Chain A
């Protein structure tokens, strides 16, 4: 199985901050990497697919980059609605695997 490791596990930030979350794969997954946002008590929501493709309706302050084994999710200017837990997920091969999550909360 491909292991996905996110860092940091938690992150405290303020509105307006620029934040970056990292996701590393245990082997190359090309660009088959998706990012999901999950708020408490809610289902995950797809934010970015294929490493850098923003989903329709997702604000442009979100961006993704990377390929191979190293990926990042960046939020350029945090808004109050962005505080949530973020998960990366590889779609290179089954079994699909997720990172352990990065909880982004208010400083």
Chain B
């Protein structure tokens, strides 16, 4: 049974870089896309981006200039960095597996980590 677990600092200073890692257990990181979604306290969900095991990635345009994603197949981990953070980046950050059927019909986030709260404060 595949499981995801986020890890990283819970507090980041304003203007610094947020760094999170997601570790996959019980499965292979190959042949899947791996995504990040965040949720500010009391608010809705925002897609950040995803990365394929080949290194191909896409991210949400408003965040694109500040977001970097990477993947380490040897450790079954993928990572997110968000630079120049502000209070608006305070959120619960989820990692998730994106599953598709290859034709574009089925495209879902079907396995999620438990989420980790990152607070940005000066």
A contacts with B: majority SS: loop
Are A49 and B106 in contact, CB atoms less than 8 angstroms apart? yes
Chain A residues near B94: list those with CB within 8 A.
43-44
Cβ-based interface call for B105 (8 A)? yes
Establish whether residues A96 and B47, one from each chain, have CB atoms under 8 Å apart when the complex forms: yes
Q: Which residues of A contact B104 (CB under 8 A)?
A: 32
Answer whether residue B78 sits at the interface, using C-beta atoms and an 8 A cutoff. no
Contact of A50 among B45, B47, B106 (CB under 8 A): B106
CA distance A31 to B2 in the complex (A): 27
Chain B interface size, as a band, is: 20 to 34
A17-39 CB contact bits vs B (8 Å, 1 = yes)?
A: 00000000000000110101000
Smallest CB separation, A79 vs chain B (Å)? 22
Residues of A within 8 A of B107 (CB): 32, 34, 91
A46 within 8 A of B: yes
Q: Is B44 part of the contact surface with A, judged by Cβ < 8 Å?
A: yes
In the complex, are the beta carbons of A95 and B60 less than 8 A apart? yes
A45 beta carbon closer than 8 Å to chain B:
yes
CB A66 to nearest CB in B, in angstroms, measures 15
Report whether B58 and A45 are in contact in the complex, using a CB–CB cutoff of 8 Å: no
B47 touches A46 (CB 8 A): no
Given A43-B113, A43-B115, is A87 in contact with B44 using a C-beta cutoff of 8 Å?
A: yes
The residues of B with any CB-CB pair to A shorter than 8 Å are 37, 44-47, 58, 60-61, 94, 96, 104-110, 112-115
The residues of A with any CB-CB pair to B shorter than 8 Å are 1, 31-32, 34, 36, 42-46, 49-50, 53, 55, 87, 89, 91, 94-101
Given A34-B108, A53-B106, 18 more pairs with CB closer than 8 A: A36-B109, A43-B96, A43-B114, A44-B37, A44-B94, A44-B112, A46-B110, A55-B110, A87-B45, A89-B45, A91-B107, A94-B60, A95-B47, A96-B47, A98-B44, A98-B45, A99-B44, A100-B44
